Amino acid sequence: MTSATALNNRYGDDKVLDGCGLFGVMDTSGARFGVEAALRAISNMRERGNGLGGGFAVYGIYPQFKEDYAFHIMYLNPRSKDRAEEILTNSFDIRRAEPMPTDASARVVNPPSVWRYFASPKRGLLRGMTPDDYVVSSVIRVNTETDGAYVFSSGRDMGVFKGVGFPEDVAKYFRLDEYEGYLWVAHSRFPTNTPGWWGGSHPFGMLDWTVVHNGELSSYGTNRRYLEMYGYSCTMQTDTEVLAYALDLLRRRQNLPLPLVAEIFAPAFWEEIDVMEPREKKLRLTLRACYGGLLMNGPFSIIAARHGEMVGLSDRLKLRPLVAAVEGQCFYLSSEEAAIRAANPTLEKVWNPLGGEPVAATLKNAPILVAT
């Protein structure tokens, strides 16, 4: 038994059920705040992880570079850095390039070299592409052509920070106490069927979409092949990666509303579809026909975020927990109510969204429950 497996599987079972911890908090007024609330919440769920992965996504942290794409890149060897920077300098106007500020005293495991770049696409190279499509194409090039460089964050005025360690260690390593944002998402990983490594820790992101996930996607192979038809390439050795790319495809590129995306990821059961009104039945059958490859099969709960929006969703049977809460202008999502109360003991409303039912909040709006 490997050391990682022993940490996961102290009783020698054939399969270890995961218990990842999820937490997200969004100030719907857009007011920025520090990491403390997210740290208290994710620390409260320490038993849901085991030190093999932790991470954060933060929105609104680079106001001085808000018009630039912020690339966070991990390098596993010097050659990969040279190749990645060749791709970036040929494709982007780089405003700043620097090593990621870190704290070497943090208890993380074998950290790679991590750099960040603030850059904009070279206008003459877009050739009819949108800047966002150009960035996605460039991210996939770096991740597939460099043999050791991985872009793990690529949005504007936001960033992903993740690695191998407990979330508290990852926060210390990346000096997150020096940042402020209006939306924080945190994850404590308990890897089961995939390696515990820096690129495989959560959150996963593409442009400003990020996702953290508790559970297991047995449909990963089907999901990955579907996304490959649209130019995406999965390189992080973890099933959750497909969720980030699927959100980018459905929400940004195809502009589908959240209720339809939820219906694609966690569709109604066939016996429910059979007794629907004709119009509703036709919609469900059409979604199944067009997007069957993006059905997320298996137990899951996720928190997904982008600028101005935070969303929670679990599978139809709700085999993984998800709790929502509101206090004033703040909206919370988590695996456990106790974690939310660790961040804020006084809550106006706490509820458990139904399986397959997305719950979301947007900037300058009260949190809204979105029925499917």
Within-domain flag for 160: yes
Q: Report pLDDT for 192.
A: 64
- pLDDT confidence band for 194 (50 / 70 / 90): confident
Q: Report pLDDT for 369.
A: 58
CA neighbours closer than 13 Å in the CB half-sphere of residue 57: 34
The stretch 223-236 carries a mean pLDDT of 95
Q: Report pLDDT for 309.
A: 96
Question: What is the per-residue pLDDT across 319-338, written as a single tens digit (0 to 9) for each?
Answer: 999 999 999 999 999 999 99
- Average pLDDT of the chain? 92
Tell which wins on pLDDT, 6 or 230.
230
- Which one-letter amino acid corresponds to residue 45? M
- Does the structure show a pLDDT above 80 at 50? yes
Within-domain flag for 94: yes
How many independent structural domains does the chain possess? 1
- Does the structure show a pLDDT above 70 at 366? no
The stretch 307-324 carries a mean pLDDT of 96
Q: Report pLDDT for 191.
A: 67
Place of tokens 């038809």: 229
Question: What is the per-residue pLDDT across 77-111, written as a single tens digit (0 to 9) for each?
Answer: 999 999 999 999 999 999 999 999 999 999 999 99
The stretch 180-198 carries a mean pLDDT of 86
- Which one-letter amino acid corresponds to residue 271? E
Q: Report pLDDT for 1.
A: 37
The stretch 35-55 carries a mean pLDDT of 94
Within-domain flag for 274: yes
CATH of the domain at 365: 3.60.20.10
Q: Report pLDDT for 317.
A: 94
Within-domain flag for 87: yes
Question: What is the per-residue pLDDT across 139-174, written as a single tens digit (0 to 9) for each?
Answer: 999 999 999 999 999 999 999 999 999 999 999 999
- Does the structure show a pLDDT above 50 at 371? no
- pLDDT confidence band for 49 (50 / 70 / 90): confident
Q: Report pLDDT for 7.
A: 47
> How far out from the chain centre does Cα 322 lie?
16
Within-domain flag for 350: yes
> How far out from the chain centre does Cα 130 lie?
23
Host domain of residue 131:
3-7+19-369
The DSSP secondary-structure symbol of 240 reads: T
Within-domain flag for 115: yes
Catalytic residue numbers? 20
Report the DSSP beta bridge partners of residue 186.
23, 56
- Cβ atoms of residues 357 and 262 within 8 Å: yes
Within-domain flag for 295: yes
- By three-state DSSP, how is residue 145 classified? helix
The stretch 285-293 carries a mean pLDDT of 96
- Which one-letter amino acid corresponds to residue 94? I
Q: Label the pairing between strands 349-351 and 330-334.
A: unpaired
Within-domain flag for 12: no
Phi and psi for 247 in degrees, rounded to 5? -65, -40
- Does the structure show a pLDDT above 50 at 271? yes
Handedness of CA 310, 316, 319, 323 (dihedral sign): positive
Write the secondary structure of 307-337 as one string of H (helix), E (strand) and C (coil): CCEEEEEECCCCCCCCEEEEECCEEEEECCH
Q: Report pLDDT for 367.
A: 65
Residues 137 and 82: their CA atoms lie apart, in Å, by: 19
Handedness of CA 164, 166, 167, 168 (dihedral sign): negative
> How far out from the chain centre does Cα 187 lie?
9
Q: Report pLDDT for 196.
A: 81
- Does the structure show a pLDDT above 50 at 11? no
Residues 236 and 76: their CA atoms lie apart, in Å, by: 13
- Does the structure show a pLDDT above 90 at 264? yes
Q: Report pLDDT for 193.
A: 67
